[in-house]
Structure 1
Amino acid sequence: MSIIRSERTAAALLLGAAALGLLLANTAAGPALLDLQHAHLGAGGLELSVGHWISDGLLAVFFFIVAVELRHELVAGDLNSVAKALHPAIAAACGVAVPALVYLAFAGSAGLGQGWPVPTATDIAFALGVLAVFGRGLPNRLRVFLLALAVLDDLIAIVIIAVFFTTDPNLVELLLAAVAVVAFGLLSRLLRGRLRWPIGVLMVLVALLTWWLVYDSGVHATIAGVALGLVMSRGPARRVAHALEPWSNGLILPLFAFSAALVVIPAVSPAELSPAFWGILVALPVGKLVGITLGGWLGSFTRSPEDRARIPLFGLIVVGALGGIGFTVSLLMNELAFTGQTRAEGTLAVLLGSAVAIVVSGGLVSALARRYRARYPHRG
Structure 2
Amino acid sequence: MSSSSPASPASRPGVTAEAAPLSLCAREPHVPADRLVAEMVPPPRFDAVRFGTYIPDPNQPSQTEAVHVLEGFAAGLGGPGATGSGKRRLFGFGKAAKPAPAGPRGVYLDGGYGVGKTHLLASLWHATPAEPALKAFGTFVELTNLVGALGFQQTVRTLSGHRLLCIDEFELDDPGDTVLVSTLLGKLVEAGVALAATSNTLPGKLGEGRFASADFLREIQGLSAHFRALRIDGEDYRHRGLPKAPPPYTDELVSKTAYATEGASLDSFADLLDHLAKVHPSRYGALTDGLAAVCLTGVRPVPDQSTALRLVVLADRLYDREVPVLASGLPFDQLFSEDMLKGGYRKKYFRAISRLTALARDAGRLTGTP
- Kindly indicate which of the two structures has a greater share of residues assigned to helix: 1
In the superposition, the TM-score normalised over structure 2's length comes to 0.27
- Kindly indicate which of the two structures has a greater share of residues assigned to strand: 2
Query: Which has the bigger relative contact order, CA under 8 A and spacing at least 6?
Result: 1
In the superposition, the TM-score normalised over structure 1's length comes to 0.27
